[in-house]
Amino acid sequence: MDNILEVRDLKISFKTFFGEVEAVRGVSFDVPRSQTVAIVGESGCGKSVTANSIMKLLPDPPAFYKGGSILFEGEDIVKKTDKEMRDIRGKSISMVFQDPMTSLNPTMKVGDQIIEGLMKHESISKEEAKKKAIEILKMVSVPKAETRINQYPHEFSGGMRQRVMIAIAMIMNPKLMIADEPTTALDVTVQAQILDLMKKLQREFGMSIILITHDLGVVADMSNKVEVMYAGQILEEGSVDDIFYNTKHPYTIRLLASLPRLDMDRNDKLQAIHGTPPDLYIPPKGCPFYDRCDKAMVVCKDNMPPVTEHGEGHYCKCWLYHDMYPKEG
């Protein structure tokens, strides 16, 4: 399959007063053209650090690339200079940030924020750029775009602000959009509208999407491929069907079991995952899920589990699937 992005053995750390935090520890995944890849996991698992590293938006220091590569159309982002990255950001790769309430500049008119990237990357008059901004606002279903373009963010609702954020991300027709928890701050009905809008834009423009989320419902609705991340590593990777219906990793199993289901009785309790993720100041030598796993074995504690394949594109990092694990029967 033709991939627009190939991340290989990516390692990112933060230098802090207390020592080094190994936030991303050897992450590899591909993003095929025109498809959506979801990176899912608990807060602090490294998914947003991974997303920001693709845009080279991590502050250095304290963050630094410790190893690996991020190949965007065959070129390594890690090796790009700040100037080269300014040309890539917004034009080839764009980002929709988590919170539309705080991500827009409150002192700038919405129209000026939409055309900022366009004016920077293309030789275009302000008038033409404004016409394009009105077009894109209509495309993301902002009513009365001609008037709204001259308003400030505080005059927009949360859902409308997120539409503006998507318009900013789309104005240069990027090849890859990274959406970091794009619906977390929105209520459920607006969330559904925003997800439908992203799907529509992807169909029309053929861009690839990396969707960062902790919401498995959003993953099921939007994605072609899923990366389950935990403690800076990918523990399971597969298609949406693999992850939801042929789940292999004990962490993914627990993650799915912690979701509310329609067939639950009102007295049924949600199954929380006991314990907390490991401290990444001192990352564990073995399986990062060891302390919370009800299937943990002696081998898991100090030995990193191998990656095993469970069908095309379905991988899992767990000792339960090693050749020497005793089989039943």
**Binding positions for ligand SF4, rule: CB under 6 A:** 250, 287, 289-290, 293, 295-297, 300, 305, 318-320
Query: CA 1 → CA 4, 30, 33, 129, distances in Å?
Result: 10, 10, 8, 36
Look at residues 7, 55, 13 and name the one whose alpha carbon lies nearest to residue 32.
Answer: 7
The pair of three-digit structure tokens given for residue 199, joined into one six-digit string: 């799907």
- The nearer residue to ligand SF4, 124 or 307, going by C-beta atoms, is 307
User: Closest distance between ligand SF4 and the C-beta of residue 240, in Å?
Assistant: 21
Look at residues 142, 288, 182, 174 and name the one whose alpha carbon lies nearest to residue 229.
Answer: 288
Ramachandran angles phi, psi of 20, nearest 5°? -90, 130
User: Closest distance between ligand SF4 and the C-beta of residue 235, in Å?
Assistant: 7
Q: Rounded to an integer, what distance in angstroms lies between the CA atom of residue 175 and that of residue 92?
A: 5
Ramachandran angles phi, psi of 316, nearest 5°? -145, 145
- The nearer residue to ligand SF4, 181 or 236, going by C-beta atoms, is 236
Whether omega before 106 lies within 30 degrees of 0, making that bond cis, reads no
User: Closest distance between ligand SF4 and the C-beta of residue 276, in Å?
Assistant: 15
User: Closest distance between ligand SF4 and the C-beta of residue 298, in Å?
Assistant: 9
- The nearer residue to ligand SF4, 57 or 320, going by C-beta atoms, is 320
- The nearer residue to ligand SF4, 171 or 287, going by C-beta atoms, is 287
Q: Rounded to an integer, what distance in angstroms lies between the CA atom of residue 89 and that of residue 34?
A: 18
- The nearer residue to ligand SF4, 238 or 305, going by C-beta atoms, is 305
Q: Rounded to an integer, what distance in angstroms lies between the CA atom of residue 189 and that of residue 297?
A: 44
User: Closest distance between ligand SF4 and the C-beta of residue 72, in Å?
Assistant: 32
User: Closest distance between ligand SF4 and the C-beta of residue 325, in Å?
Assistant: 9
- The nearer residue to ligand SF4, 97 or 319, going by C-beta atoms, is 319
